[in-house]
Amino acid sequence: MKQDQPRPTPRAGIMDIEAYVPGKSTAPAGVTKVHKLSANENPLGPSPKAIEAARKVAAKLEVYPDGSARRLREAIADVHGLNPANIVCSNGSDEILGLLAQTYLAPGDEAVFTEHAFMVYKIYIQAAGAKPIAVKETEERADIDAILAAVTPATRIVFLANPNNPTGTYVPFQEVRRLHAGLPKNVLLVLDAAYAEYVRRNDYEAGIELAGSSENVVMTRTFSKLGLGGARIGWMYGPAHIVDAINRVRGPFNVNATAIEAGIAAIRDRAHIERSVAHNEKWLAWVSEQLTLLGLRVTPSVGNFVLIHFPDDKRHSAAAADDYLSARGYILRRVTAYGFPNALRMSIGTEEAIRGVVDALKTFLKS
């Protein structure tokens, strides 16, 4: 096609966006057994009750879902002790993050996040025409003083992944409160607590209290890391005026019928969630220790994954390790785009997968 012909052009800034590249899910040809450890999925799978609920709704897929996902909001509210009117459900929490950017950012505005933060923030900030501001972390952890120092009169949103992906580090809640206290009242603080269920620390909070008592804080959550990544269910909890704004912008049926029914069944299956969290607690600690014994540096993680750093020599680099592991069916996540060219992120998979990776890396590092 001739380039001098007029044709539709995206808004300024859209073509500067680097599209999100999900983790690999396939192994090289010839590998028979594949362990996907690249997307922080639940190795225990979905709740059997969610599977059953999804099966049931399949027979009635001609019916539109309830556009407000009322029963799902009520189930979430019930489990967490919240008012369902302060919840918005979404097609994964990614959607809610995008809606927040679209609703509160305009060209000329700035939005702040940390240098190794979850990548979708930057994408949605740019998609809204605003300026992404990445601030330095300290020891692979969000630095509250650095975030506060980056706030200008143009700042409209601060995104904080707590815990963060791909580092797995978290900010104690006293620090989050200090961040909130230091922000101007017109800046929206988005607490992305995608891994909240997995965190086992006394000084951690997902943000329910703060979002429930402030006019400028929302907490986002997801069902994806607990076994329903494919169903795409996320939610936001926050003040009424933000819920009202988001409800005007979101698609009228943004959560599909299967997601609603599977989500209700899943959040009520507390035993499945407890099993998933217990599995993670055990194998996260084990694998962190084993990899450290192999001489690899592991960023201390409270999530359902670990960030593994590789030696400087080319033969034992993250890229070489990725090739070696992939050839054996272990699919990890390259994190160069997150500012870690020599690290791999690994989900806490099944015992078989986790032991397999440790054994394979033992041989790899000796080679």
Ligand X SMILES: *Cc1c(COP(=O)(O)O)cnc(C)c1O
Q: Counting contacts by CB under 6 A, is residue 194 touching ligand X?
A: yes
Cis ω for the linkage preceding 22 (within 30 of 0): no
Cα R_g (the chain), whole angstroms:
21
53 or 233: whose CB is closer to ligand X?
233
**Under rule CB under 6 A, how many of the chain's residues touch ligand X?**
12
104 or 195: whose CB is closer to ligand X?
195
Q: Which range of residues in 26-34, 78-86, 88-96, 326-334 is near ligand X by CB under 6 A?
A: 88-96
Cα distances (angstroms) measured from residue 168 to each of 9, 160, 199, 312, 350: 39, 13, 10, 22, 19
229 or 311: whose CB is closer to ligand X?
229
248 Cβ partners below 8 Å, 6+ apart? none
274 Cβ partners below 8 Å, 6+ apart? none
Q: Counting contacts by CB under 6 A, is residue 304 touching ligand X?
A: no
Q: Counting contacts by CB under 6 A, is residue 161 touching ligand X?
A: yes
Q: How far is the CB of 139 from ligand X (least distance, A)?
A: 19
Q: How far is the CB of 3 from ligand X (least distance, A)?
A: 36
Q: Which range of residues in 16-24, 87-95, 199-207, 268-276 is near ligand X by CB under 6 A?
A: 87-95
CA–CA separation, 263 vs 228, rounded Å?
8
**Member of 41, 137, 140, 192 binding ligand X (CB under 6 A):** 192
First to last CA, the chain: 51
The CB-nearest residue to ligand X is 92
**Member of 207, 234, 238, 349 binding ligand X (CB under 6 A):** 234
Tell which residue, 292, 301, 348, 284, has the closest CA to residue 116. 301
User: Which of helix, strand or coil describes residue 360?
Assistant: helix
Q: How far is the CB of 93 from ligand X (least distance, A)?
A: 4
Partners of residue 235 on adjacent β-strands: 89, 221
CA–CA separation, 215 vs 71, rounded Å?
25
Per-residue contact string for residues 91-120; x = within reach of ligand X by CB under 6 A: -xxx-----------------------x--
CA–CA separation, 226 vs 229, rounded Å?
8
Q: Counting contacts by CB under 6 A, is residue 280 touching ligand X?
A: no
Q: Counting contacts by CB under 6 A, is residue 254 touching ligand X?
A: no
Q: Where are the beta strands (DSSP E) in 186-289?
A: 188-192, 217-222, 234-237
Q: Which residues bind ligand X (CB under 6 A)?
A: 92-94, 118, 161, 165, 192, 194, 222, 224, 229, 234
